[in-house]
Amino acid sequence: MKQKPISMYDSFEIGNLMIKNRLVRSATFEFGADDGVVTQRIIELYRQLAEGGSGLIITGMYAVLSSARSSPVMVETTYDGYVDDMKRIVDIVHENGSLLFVQLNHTGYKTAKSPGYDRIGVSEQEIAEGYTYLEATPDDIKRIAEAFGKAAKRCKEAGCDGVQIHGSHGYLINTFLSPYYNQRTDAYGGPIENRARILFEIYDEIRNAVDNNFPVSVKIPFSDRVSPSIMPDECVYVCRELEKRGIDMIEVTSGLTMDGGGSSFSPFVKDESQEGSFLAGAAQLANAVGIPIVSVCGYRTPDFIEKALNETAVAAVSLCRPLVREPALSNRWKSDRTKAACISCNRCFMSKGIIACQAEK
């Protein structure tokens, strides 16, 4: 019997969760916190996204320590009211039939260049004049891994459906994984087994802090798009090791950038030939592991999305910039399958107060 084609509105499973469709809102920095605290602006952003129909919503990156933030407008998970504030967001998301993961991060070399922030990285590095980051010690790494575990536990207490470890785009974990920045000669440097050690330790701390029924995912690069880069076989190794440990989902991206811009990991998308920029890597990983693989970057049309779902083993696609322009895009495509309105200009990343489309409409 011929198998029924997969629709982007078919459900799929992540761990013990059923996601109502295969359109995931990829983590997108909100620019909306008040010195690390969730604001009403952020709550309303997630209300719009939930009402807009995405099956799974992944928050913007939230810091596991106050000192791990890239700026005061980044949410951090340790302030006293965090659990209650997140409960408000979770309730809104659940009322609209969607599920919520929190993306957890330490921003590494991208921490705010102000007193009180961590000034450590994978290796000693002068990032800007007068701003040298010291090589993280084993004690630093242990402290950070434990912070990931505590943050995940707080997300679970708030009723969130899962967490995502941010292992990409030039933040701390990515710089350990990448030979471009990892110059260490200890147990965290050299071969991929060592460069991935911090990620494995962070995952283990999270899993020990929550039970096996609480989904944990990771956003990981298939390529750094610089040289030297993490290699495809190394990425496959890391993902297989995480699968052995019990990780529930992997979102596959690419690109290592340190300048705060989006050029290395947010390619322009002018037509269908440029869609799914990192699909090939995601498809290769989907063939190598038995857990859901989500492909991010450059999805703009329903026809291409459903082609990707039917011609590869990826379970879902995730969207970032198109949902900034059209938070209700997932619902709109049910009746109007024209291309997303996003023009890939990246000006949304220059937002102040809360992320919003800055393009002329």
Amino acid at site 58: I
Side-chain-side CA neighbours of 154 within 13 Å: the count stands at 24
In a domain, 179, yes or no: yes
Model pLDDT for residues 53-82, shown as the tens digit of each residue: 999 999 999 999 999 999 999 999 999 999
In a domain, 60, yes or no: yes
Can you give the residue range of the structural domain that contains 73?
A: 18-350
Query: What's the confidence (pLDDT) of residue 266?
Result: 62
In a domain, 225, yes or no: yes
- Which strand (E) or helix (H) includes residue 12? strand 12-14
Query: What's the confidence (pLDDT) of residue 260?
Result: 43
Query: What's the confidence (pLDDT) of residue 273?
Result: 74
Pinpoint the alpha helices (H) of the chain: 40-51, 82-95, 138-157, 172-177, 192-195, 197-209, 232-245, 279-288, 302-311, 321-325, 329-332
In a domain, 232, yes or no: yes
Angle at 175 between CA 103 and CA 228, to 5 degrees: 130
Q: Is 82 a catalytic residue?
A: no
- Axis-axis angle for helices 279-288, 232-245 (nearest 10): 50
CB 248 within 8 A of CB 290: no
Cα separation, 62 vs 71, in Å, equals 11
The CA distances from residue 70 to 42, 114, 154, in Å, are 17, 10, 21
Question: pTM above 0.85?
Answer: yes
Cα separation, 349 vs 358, in Å, equals 9
Query: What's the confidence (pLDDT) of residue 23?
Result: 98
Pinpoint the alpha helices (H) of 248-352: 279-288, 302-311, 321-325, 329-332
The CA-based dihedral angle spanning residues 209, 184, 228, 148, taken in that order and rounded to the nearest 10 degrees: 10
Q: What is the mean pLDDT of each successive set of 10 residues along the chain, which is 361 residues long?
A: 88 98 97 98 98 98 98 98 98 98 98 95 91 96 98 98 97 97 97 98 98 97 92 98 98 78 59 85 98 96 97 97 96 97 88 90 59
In a domain, 200, yes or no: yes
In a domain, 6, yes or no: no
Picking from 165, 212, 207, the residue whose alpha carbon sits closest to that of residue 16 is 212
Q: Which of 171, 180, 203, 299 is catalytic?
A: 171
Query: What's the confidence (pLDDT) of residue 263?
Result: 45
Amino acid at site 326: E
Cα separation, 58 vs 196, in Å, equals 23
State the total domains in the chain. 1
CB 46 within 8 A of CB 95: no
The CA distances from residue 75 to 130, 210, 295, in Å, are 26, 21, 25
Q: What is the CATH number of the domain that holds 220?
A: 3.20.20.70
Cα separation, 345 vs 323, in Å, equals 14
In a domain, 9, yes or no: no
- Which strand (E) or helix (H) includes residue 316? strand 316-319
Which tokens sit at 138?
Answer: 């084993």
Which positions ≥6 away from 271 have C-beta within 8 Å? none
CB 118 within 8 A of CB 68: yes
CB 142 within 8 A of CB 53: no
Model pLDDT for residues 90-135, shown as the tens digit of each residue: 999 999 999 999 999 999 999 999 999 999 999 999 988 888 999 9
Instruction: Work out whether the CA dihedral 324, 343, 266, 296 comes out positive or negative.
Output: positive
> What's the Rg (C-alpha) of the chain?
19
In a domain, 120, yes or no: yes
